[in-house]
Amino acid sequence: MMKREELLAHYARVRAHYRALAPAYSREANQTCEGRYRDIVQRVMRGRARVLELGSGSNDLLDRVGPPGSVACDLSIDMLQQRKAIARTAAVVGAGEQLPFRDGAFDLVCGAQMWHWTDPPAAEEVARVLRPGGRALLVVGDGVLDGRPENAPDGIAEAGSAIELAPVARASQARPLHDRRLAEIFADHPRREHLLLLQKT
């Protein structure tokens, strides 16, 4: 876990990274992945009154399919400002490790490709803002920890069990490798992308 100063420096790097990407991000995002994510979220959110999307960035997922009262949350104000001018979903700047919402505020927390930007307290925060019986839907890719492949869902499942987030479903698929360093790290261990569905007990 990062110390406060390290976490603040990390936030500054993430914000700077997305400040540069924000103007073109929606145009250049992988629309196939965005569409599949939207379809899955739409299925999981049936019957859920309050939905929070973490790392929402500039997408309009909740504006399209979310119930009234949904909230798009991102660390980058630059990304949130790229959302459509007339959005029906609230947009809130916030960090996954310190979510600015009350306990039990949401029926569903979802997020895609944002978990690698967070520190371990983010799992506790997801559990805190979920009501009992609420669900978390996360799309995460295997990462690199200390120069070795990391199986992302194992770490999340382990953290989740300690904070009353029980696994409900999991699916995985191959994730392409776009640079030489990752190809070397994952040479003996295929890199995968995972969809995790957890429920607060």
**What DSSP string describes 81-124?**
TTS-SS-SSEEEE-BTTB--S-TT-EEEEEEES-GGGS-THHHH
pLDDT at 133: 96
Structural element, H or E, at residue 60:
none
Mean pLDDT within 89-100: 91
Q: Give yes or no for a contact between 52 and 122, defined as CB atoms under 8 angstroms apart.
A: no
Percent of the chain at pLDDT exceeding 70: 79
Q: Rounded to the nearest 5°, which phi and psi values hold at 130?
A: -85, 140
**Token pair belonging to 74:** 């991102």
Residue 168 has, within 13 A of its CA and on its CB side, a CA count of 14
Task: Give pLDDT tens digits for 65-85.
Answer: 889 889 999 988 888 888 776
Task: Give pLDDT tens digits for 23-48.
Answer: 665 555 545 456 677 788 888 888 89
pLDDT at 32: 46
**Topology given in CATH for the domain delimited by 4-200:** Rossmann fold (3.40.50)
Q: Which residue ranges make up each domain of the chain?
A: 4-200
Task: Report d(CA 153, CA 142) in Å as an integer.
Answer: 8
